[in-house]
Structure 1
Amino acid sequence: MRPVAHPPTPGWKAEGRETLRLAGPLALANLLQMLTYAIDVMFIARLGPDELAASALAVALFGLVLWSLQSLTGAVAPIIAAELGARGPALRPVRRATRMALWLAGIVSVAGMGVCMMIGPLMQLTGQEPHIAALASGYMDVLVWSAPLMIVAGVQRNFVAALGRPIFATVITALGIGVNALGNYAFIFGNLGAPEMGLPGAAVATFITSVAVAAMYAAAIRFDPRLHRYRIMGFFWRPDWSRFVEILRIGTPIAITVLAEAGVFGAAAFLMGRVGGLELAAHTVALNLAAFAFQVPFGVGQAATIRVGYFFGSRDPQGIARAGWMGVAMGTGFMVLTATAMIVAPEALLSLYIDPTDPANGQLIVIATGFLAIAAAFQLSDGVQAVAAGALRGLKDTRVPMWIAVFSYWVPGFGLAAGLGLGTPLAGKGVWIGLATGLTFAAVLLLWRWHRREDLGLTARGVK
């Protein structure tokens, strides 16, 4: 068999264009997804504080399960990218990998739904008020049916992005916002001829949105000639167990990493609650701002996974290096801008959530401004670790990065947050210093691993 001819390695400028072409739509889709959740909150808040609290508890569990399982099945992205780099268009290998990711999505959905349905006992275990727990359970009873469709849509999104069509993710997420808002308006309050369902109506809206999003991805894949040629539903009943195991092997550490990161931020909220209610409110607002900013380097990290994976498959060490470092530069550069904004104009950012002219909010703004000053340093580390982890995933390197994340977030990160937050006068600022320290450890260690990728043998399969 003759060797496959590959195009020359793109220069830095060309690589920048390619990374931006992928990262831009993916980052925008991430931001729009956060807006979808914000719209839910806006509608549910009109029902009252009990319904809002119940939905927050349910979404905390549902979101953690969903994010981790989407990360597990998302391991298909570097596999597709490597196949395209090795022998593009690689119709059969890409089809088989996507098929097995869809199989896995169906299987893990059942397990995820089972975990979500345990919300009642979890509410009792954590001492929630009975009427809040009852509302949360009723909401989850409907919401849980969205999980399989959302996990499948995650696989579809990875497929279209890896095949060079990330704009579909942006457009479909934007259209999903409209469907979700309309569904909330109709089913929560009984408008447009729909029954008035209250809080469960918000879950119905989410389910309808998940159906619409999965259907829109299916339509895009069917009618876009480049995507349709892969016929990912062809011979859908045929297993490819080696691919299935490969997705599990790469994806399981990613899912555990997600659980470790989400867990430490959840634990930080509990620490902040022990410090004081005002500090917890300020923490929530500041963390929301940080989470919005994070969606951009997160999108860059997703793009880096695909670009690095492509060059890994084509056995191009120079391409691997340029793709990874370009991603790190883009992600870090954006976070420099957000960090600067948090230092220079914290009140302007906080005004998105808090009325700065209301004297009752004065102390809250002072505390949140202090948190944002620490978050500025936190932003740089968060951006670096997100993109470095994404680049390493492109090399199918996920196990050691998982241990780096678990160690960084929970030993120096949570350890320092608990010690400074509860044992020193720093209080809430101590919690944030701990979070920033954990992210900095992760960023340094992951960046070191990326820098030493050849010495560690991570690119061995990709070297001629």
Structure 2
Amino acid sequence: MHSKTSEENCKMNLSQYTKEFSYNMQLAYPVIIGMLGHTLIGIVDNIMVGKLGSTELAAVSLGNSMIFVAMSLGIGFSTAITPIVAEADAEKDNSKIRSAFHHGLFLCVILGFSLFGLVVLAKPIMELLHQPKEVIALAKPFVDWVAFSLVPLIIYQGYKQFADGMSMTKVSMYAIIMANILHVIINYCLIYGVWIFPKMGIIGAALGTVISRIAMVVFMHMILSRRERLKQYFHDFSFDEIKKEMIKKIVNLGLPSAMQMLFEVVLFTAGIWLCGNIGKTSQAANQIALSLASMTFMFAMGLSVVSMIRISTQKGLNDYKQLVVVARSIFLLAILIEILFAIMFVALHQILPYLFLNMENQSQILDNQEVIAIAAKLLLVAAVFQISDGIQVVVLGALRGLQDVKIPMYITFVAYWIVGFPISFYLGEYTSLKAVGVWIGLLAGLTAAAVFLFIRFHYLTKKMISENASK
């Protein structure tokens, strides 16, 4: 009798979480498609450039690693616009919406140009990190162009976060789909020299990225400025409206979020550089595994945004018990999705790397076989680490929903740089594990982040429930 009751309780507990799944996915899918679109631009570059050879693939990998660091700062910072706009929209305060949008866009323009300048100035880092000479020679001109694409990308983020705050998540999804179609067409013409176009190799890939990102901004501006309810926010912009208080508010919210993203992205970038030190086949293999893991990670990223939105709603309603149910339902959904991807990676670890290389190129055949052997091993580690990665990012989203950004910033720093990086460095440089050792370090860092962030969330919600009960 007792076991039957506990079985029923367990089913009831599980059903209170699973009944939230469909609403979570409904909110998450436009965000996931948008995130996948960002990643796809890099993956398309890798697949198309991989057909040219492993040196070209390593050059794009090295160039994009520098861009990703800057991109994480820009995207992390811009997330501050959404909660301010959403709050003002709930209050029906049009002047506050306008202020958050204009200040956010103004800061995104400044940040976009600043990041472009920083990346161009940071190019000598490639030599300091002892990357292969032939890879650096190809990567430098590629970096100049792709760094410039950060300007339209960060401006696009300003529009996207504004639209998300107004609960219009599908607009950015359409912009990304359009950009990806355009990107593939331009890449195909300019990388291989099709029809009247010159054969530009990896510079063609960089130009494809720049043009498609400019098109994204134009698309967002046209769609949003023509919406009847948004027209009032798109006219009479003046610098007199820029106020210190709103800039301070956006910076205070945006900076810790930017730092959290930076700590994780720089850890992965350090992984790329460590693999570059080991050799170009390890670097190319790392890029293949990272491209695939990044795609599956976007599902967790989408759920992280949902986590932030739904948790902040429950917090506003002061319903902390339901807040915990909603949070756990999102955590559970993320774990289930990542386990499915883990099974797929284990089953296909020998097959997936072939998508990225031209096996018919006889001069590259030995290099390519070595790349595939290393990438297959990395995918087995990736299968496990994406479960940890999925948990840490959705819990981080929940903590942002609770407006708890500073402590998680310190947690992520310790997990990635005190735990993860030393393990990556030691196993990659001083043991026979090489690239696999680098990835074991990444797994250790992500697992530490997942555990400590979950403890932080559990501690805060328990405290909120008990304080609420004692009132």
TM over 0.5: yes
Deviations 1:124-172 (A, max 9, x none): 4345577755554433444333222110111211222232222222221
CA distance in 2, matches of 1:138, 1:366: 30
2:418 to 411, 433, 437: 411
Structure 2 residue matching 1:396: 3-state secondary structure? coil
Alignment correspondent of 2:29:
24
210-219 vs 316-325, which moves further: 316-325
Provide Cα deviations, 1:434-458, integer angstroms capped at 9, x if missing partner: 2111101100111111122245669
Among candidates 149, 152, 155, match of residue 152 of structure 2: 149
The answer to whether residue 455 in structure 2 is matched with residue 448 in structure 1 is yes
Could you tell me which amino acid in structure 2 is paired with residue 36 of structure 1? I
| Gaps in structure 2 of 5+ consecutive residues | 1-15
When residues 31 and 132 of structure 1 are mapped into structure 2, their CA distance, relative to the original with a 3 A threshold, is same
Per-residue deviation, 1:39: 2.5
Q: 1:457 to 1:155 in 2, by over 3 A?
A: farther
Match of 2:247 in 1: 244
- Give the Cα separation in 1 of the matches to 2:359 and 2:144: 39
Distance 1:420 1:197, change over 3 A: closer
Q: Does 1:231 align with 2:236?
A: no
State the AA in 1 paired with 2:233.
R
1:389 aligns with 2:391: no
- Give the CA deviation at 1:381: 0.6
Q: Distance in 2 between matches of 1:244 and 1:203?
A: 33
Instruction: Decide whether the 8 Å contact of 1:385 with 1:443 is kept in 2.
Output: yes
Contact 1:58-1:119 at 8 Å conserved across structures? no
Per-residue CA deviations over 1:272-296 (Å, capped at 9, x if unaligned) read 3455655444433323222211111
The more displaced of 317-326 and 96-105 is 317-326
- CA offset at residue 105 of structure 1? 0.5
- Is 1:38 the counterpart of 2:43? The answer is yes
Residue 296 of structure 2 is aligned to residue 289 of structure 1: no
Alignment of 1:47-446 (within 5 A): 52-84=57-89, 87-127=90-130, 133=136, 135-188=138-191, 199-226=202-229, 228=230, 231=233, 235-237=237-239, 238-275=241-278, 278-353=281-356, 365-446=372-453
Instruction: Provide the C-alpha distance between the structure 1 equivalents of 2:202 and 2:370, rounded to a whole number of angstroms.
Output: 32
- Which digits, 9 at most, give the CA deviation of each residue in 1:235-271, with x for residues without a partner? 4531243222122112112222222112212222333
Query: Aligned partners of 1:270, 1:421: CA distance in 2, in Å?
Result: 11
Q: Structure 1: state its 5+ residue gaps.
A: 1-10
TM-score (norm 2): 0.83
* Distance of 2:146 and 2:317 partners within structure 1: 42
Q: Does structure 2 retain, via aligned residues, the 8 Å contact 1:119–1:137? A: no
The one-letter amino acid paired with 1:22 is: L
Question: How far apart, in 2, do the equivalents of 1:425 and 1:129 lie?
Answer: 21
Give the corresponding residue for 2:11. Answer: none
Determine the C-alpha separation between the residues in 2 that align with 1:387 and 1:381.
10
Q: Cα deviations across residues 297-351 of structure 1 (Å, max 9, x unaligned)? A: 0111122222223333444434533443232122111101111222344324344
CA distance in 1, matches of 2:194, 2:357: 30
| Aligned length in residues | 450
- Change in Cα spacing, 1:117 to 1:270, as seen in structure 2 (3 Å) is closer
Task: Name the stretch that deviates more: 290-299 or 190-199.
Answer: 190-199
Letter in 2 for 1:38: I
Q: CA deviation at 1:27?
A: 0.9
User: Could you tell me how far 1:427 is from its partner in structure 2?
Assistant: 4.2
The alpha-carbon deviation at position 417 of structure 1 amounts to: 2.2
Mark the CA change 1:364 to 1:339 in structure 2 (over 3 Å): closer, same or farther.
same
Q: What's the RMSD between the two structures over aligned residues?
A: 3.4
**DSSP-derived class of the 1:347 partner:** coil
TM, length-normalised to structure 1:
0.84
In 2, the alpha carbon distance for the partners of 1:396 and 1:91 equals 23
User: Identity of aligned pairs, percent?
Assistant: 28
SS of residue matched to 1:117? helix
Is the contact between residue 331 and residue 391 of structure 2 (CA under 8 Å) also seen in structure 1? Answer: yes
